[in-house]
Amino acid sequence: MKRTWLWLACGLLLMAQGADAAPTPVPTTGREVLITYPQALAVVNLDAPDDWGLVPVGGTVEAAVFVREQAVLLLHSPARQELAVVDARRYSPTRYQVLASYRSPELSRRGMRFVSAANRYYLASGRTAVAVVDPRTLLAKLGVYTYDFLPVLDDTAQHVTMQEGYFALKDGQLTVEDPRAGGMPVPQFVRLSDRPQELLADPSRSRLYLAANRPGGTGALLVLDARTRAVIHELAVSWPITSMTWLEGGTIGFLSASRPLIAVYDPAKDRWASILSPKVPGKPLRLLALGEPNGKRFAPLQEEAR
């Protein structure tokens, strides 16, 4: 197998894609959320929704990860067979601009996700990876590789590993495997009145957050106690939920693509912090994570081995 090694760190201060159009200026202050569009990545200032900008990635981003060590985003666009490096430093003059872009036929594979394991980021599906990135040096290896230590996950499901068990959401059904029960863990269905399509977890509070859509174009946020597996709170909304993700500050962002609008929920206060409608042209696809339950920036879409 032919292997290609790319030294990314040397090019992080230069624009590697001079032929690409210059990006629209993006916000440099305030709380921000990233939204994927068919041909761009939008950056919206939650404190001033009219303050937004676009990163011209030129294709739909299907996977993203924030590399904490270098303060950059890695974006995977299968349509362009591309792995893009985007500046994410808060006060950088090139913040959210594409610093480098690397292409390989192997990057055309869809359904890939970034997996954190063995001090590396793997763009992988199951145990097959097409890119391996060292977060300290940003040395990347492109090709097709198999690693036995990567977790084998159902790419059509969402997964959360907590002290209370291993939770999985697929086709509107939430299941849990409790390793504390002894013997071979068997998935048990969690009874819910709705069929959620999005799942987030806060292990420190033993909470699961489930987003569900209901008839008539409405939705709901279900807050589940991971210990009892009971819904302890339910917030109905008058709009359908397309996606949700953790934001900086430990809040949860919700996207309704049909409106479109962004809503921010504060789990600590158990209330909606804000609802806004940025005037970004086009129809949004998904939110990208830039936070975690403790309020810090982290690696979005990170999956740990069971």
From edge to edge, which strands make up the β-sheet containing 52-55? 52-55, 40-45, 32-37, 286-288
**Mean of the pLDDT values across residues 29-55?**
79
For residue 303, name the pLDDT band (cuts at 50, 70, 90).
Answer: very low
Residue 299 pLDDT exceeds 50 = no
Residue 7 pLDDT exceeds 70 = no
pTM of the predicted model, to two decimals?
Answer: 0.74
Report which of 279, 300, 259, 281 is spatially closest to residue 45, judged by C-alpha positions. Answer: 279
Report the alpha-carbon distance of residue 243 to residue 263 in Å, rounded: 11
Summary mean pLDDT of the chain = 80
- Of 147-151, 180-184, 294-298, least confident by mean pLDDT is 294-298
Which pairing describes strands 188-190 and 173-177: parallel, antiparallel, or unpaired?
antiparallel
Residue 157's pLDDT is 58
Q: Which residue has the tokens 């975690």?
A: 292
DSSP reduced 3-state for 49 = coil
pLDDT digits (tens, 9 = 90+) for 211-267: 999 999 999 999 999 999 999 999 999 999 999 988 877 889 999 998 899 999 999
Residue 162's pLDDT is 86
For residue 298, name the pLDDT band (cuts at 50, 70, 90).
Answer: very low
Share of the chain above pLDDT 90, in %: 32
Q: What is the CATH number of domain 4-146?
A: 2.130.10.10
pLDDT digits (tens, 9 = 90+) for 94-130: 888 888 888 899 999 998 888 888 888 899 888 899 9
